Amino acid sequence: MSFFAELKRRNVFRVAVAYSVIAWILAQVADLAFDNFGSPEWVSKTVLFILVLGLPLAVFFAWAFELTPEGLKKEKDVDRSQSITPQTGRKLDLTIIGVLVIGIGFLMFDRFTGDDDSAAVEVVKTDSARLSIAVLPFENRSDRPEDEYFTEGIHDDLLTTMANIGSMKVISRTSVMEYKETTKKIPEIAKELGVANILEGGIQRSGNHVRINVQLIDAITDEHLWAEIYDRELTAENLFAIQSEVSNAIAKALNATLSPQEVQRVSSIPTQSLEAYEAYLLGRQKWSARTAASTAEAVTLFQKAIDLDPDYAQAYAGLADAYRHQVPYGGLPEAEALPKAERAVRKALVLDDQLAEGYATLGGLLAQQNRDLAEAEAALKRALELNPAYSDAYNWLALTYQASGEFEKAQTVVRKGLEVDPLSLVLQLNLGLNLGALGRTDEMRAAVERLIEVAPESAFGYMGMSFYSGFYKGRIDDSILWLNKATELEKNDPAFASYMSYWYLDLNDTRMADYWVTRASDIRPDNVNVYSAKMMTALHSGDPDVARTLALAAIDASRSAVFNFPVLFESLRGDIADNSLHLSIQRIETVAPELFHTDAASVSSANLAVALALAKLQRELGNETRAKQILSDAINLLQAQGTTGAIVPGPELAIAHSLTGDYAKAMTALRAATNAGWRYGWWYVFDHLDLLEPLRSEPAFGALRAEIAEDMAEQLKNVRKMEASGQVESPSTIPALKSPPPT
């Protein structure tokens, strides 16, 4: 008998096949189990080695031994006439078939119930040449925990450097930082961020040396595409060179092309001073903390970097950002902080006209002050050309369009921003608020509900629901419920406490309104929102002179306060009484210069309130033609928006008709606004707004006021039930308070 025939007779081939199939299934099961238990990679490799080593042993035993009814015997001791190898062979065939069925079942189970990489596959199909990447937070491998700022800074700078490559989609820092110390797998992260590639790495700093190791991973196959270790002397030039080399290597691995301008930006060296660079990195960490103390520290650190290297453009841009944030976080007046910020950022752009963060900061600064929105738009667009992953620039550009009343453009920008920063809470909130401005309130609600679902620990979603309920649906009770959740999460935000006082004034609950405005004042007495809230409580208690003083204080604290409807008209009323109309004219021209164009009034939904005030002023000055033109534009805009639903229900159309003398249309418009859900500030409009004075003698006006008051009384009952159940703060749990000091 031939050797081959003997192998077949002894079932050696069948044993080899059966062992291989069983070993393969065991390897798959072990791999799945070890992944779920988080076992190190060497464990899987050891199991695989043992299984491979077992194959020749199985073959040897199949050749040397035979299974008999009496048990396992050496093959040479078995009588061929008594051999049962044919029966054993058939059993092995059945075993192989059964094991194969199990294996196919396992594959199907893993295919349909395991990790779903379909989203990553879709990225490859939709993102040309797979040029999408997320750079996960680097691991600080230094002995000193305080070096974390250094690791984060290098990671942030590498992101910025890579974002200079326009053909690549680089996920913004905000989103990738969510995966710091994550246990999620690469395909899962890629699915959530919508990318095809992941870069991860670590940094070890020791004395005057630094080691940076990075590896590029295919998000679909979880395979390494490229890896490198950089072991260099710790100098600023070497750190920037490493970032440039990494960016170029990744571009090469992904077949991305760089323009000559991109090559220049990727290879740039912002500073030769390591000490200045370290001060800048630490300053950026302090700035990101967003507290009064940390923002002040950031100013000092950025200034230190500038002192060490007066030509360090990025340090000037950082200083500008720190000054800007001293307004909301450090209590610095706008009039003091913002000019410093503008000087710093313009110096940055003189030093480096390719600095994306400089253009972004300049645009955001101009938009924040509602100054020269055309320049703000151009600067922010330039920032995004230079760095398409600059999340803040998308948000600021959207706010710029909103300030111009261009909500469709704002919506497009926000959605583009979410492509590179899908986990940005600010952009997601802006998406919801902008949908509301477009009249798509159902979509607005869905957007803010998603925000609450993905970030229940953030106040943003609850604030969005409060705005939806109060501004669009007239449910002040629901708005208080949602805003109460926001204030629980942001106890030190004076804006949230101020908004709460507004809602309670609408319900005529003066005690709770006083409580919240006092709480807001305790947090930040010089905040613009606090001045506005105090003004409203003064009006509600019947003190218009104090209200005007507070309105002017709000405008001094922030020029944007002119866009606050009651603040604007209380300052206007005082100026008319004092025959100081030029002061109101100056305030309006400062924030809305487009209304003073000689060819057209340029009325938009963003400047509507100041346009109506300007029409009133023009009439007081005897400029009847100009007043009529502004009012005509305002009425046309409001009627067009009313047909599309793209406006918050409010009294603006009633005011415009009242100023033209058409009181019947004014009453019709006021009724329509009430039916559409307008309630916020209703008592101010009915009881204090001089522009509607001619309507107060109309019986329908009084009847409508009584109707809203009755609705507010019913909603207050609902709030009392919420207080009783502990859902919102209760009067019984707070001390009796008097109205806060007016100034």
Q: What is the pLDDT of residues 213-234, one digit of tens each?
A: 999 999 888 888 899 999 999 9
Core vs surface per residue 233-242: b (16+ CB within 10 A) or e: ebebebbbeb
Smallest Cα–Cα separation from 679: which of 507, 434, 481? 507
Q: What is the pLDDT of residues 604-662, one digit of tens each?
A: 888 888 999 999 999 999 999 999 999 999 999 888 876 666 667 789 999 999 999 99
| Alpha helices by DSSP H, 309-355 | 313-325, 334-351
Give 181-184's long-range contacts (Cβ < 8 A, gap of 24+): 181/137, 182/136, 183/38
- For residue 3, the model assigns a pLDDT of 57
**Would you give the end-to-end CA distance of the chain in angstroms?**
111
Residue positions counted in the chain: 743
Angle, nearest 10°, between helix axes 425-437 and 441-454? 160
Contact 117, 187 (CB under 8 A): yes
Please give the structure tokens belonging to residue 453: 């679902």
Q: What is the pLDDT of residues 247-274, one digit of tens each?
A: 999 988 888 888 888 898 899 999 999 9
Residues 6+ apart with CB under 8 A from 436: 444, 467, 468, 471, 472, 648
User: In whole angstroms, how far apart are CA 80 and each of 9, 10, 86?
Assistant: 11, 11, 11
Q: What is the pLDDT of residues 56-70, one digit of tens each?
A: 766 565 555 555 555
Smallest Cα–Cα separation from 271: which of 298, 297, 310? 310
Instruction: Return d(Cα 645, Cα 638) in angstroms, integer.
Output: 10
| Alpha helices by DSSP H, 146-259 | 148-163, 173-176, 186-193, 236-253
DSSP 8-state class, residue 448: H
Residues 6+ apart with CB under 8 A from 598: none
Smallest Cα–Cα separation from 612: which of 551, 562, 559? 562
pLDDT band at 738 (very low <50, low <70, confident <90, very high): very low
Smallest Cα–Cα separation from 606: which of 364, 370, 361? 370
- For residue 119, the model assigns a pLDDT of 41
User: In whole angstroms, how far apart are CA 590 and each of 293, 558, 584?
Assistant: 32, 12, 10
∠ CA 339-345-346, nearest 5°, is 90
Residues 6+ apart with CB under 8 A from 716: 477, 507, 508, 509
- For residue 371, the model assigns a pLDDT of 74
pTM for this entry: 0.78
21-42 mean pLDDT: 60
Q: What is the pLDDT of residues 290-302, one digit of tens each?
A: 788 899 999 999 9
DSSP 8-state class, residue 727: S
- For residue 164, the model assigns a pLDDT of 86
Q: What is the pLDDT of residues 460-518, one digit of tens each?
A: 999 999 999 999 999 999 999 999 999 999 888 899 999 999 999 999 999 999 999 99
- For residue 327, the model assigns a pLDDT of 86
Collapsing DSSP to helix, strand or coil, 73 comes out as: strand
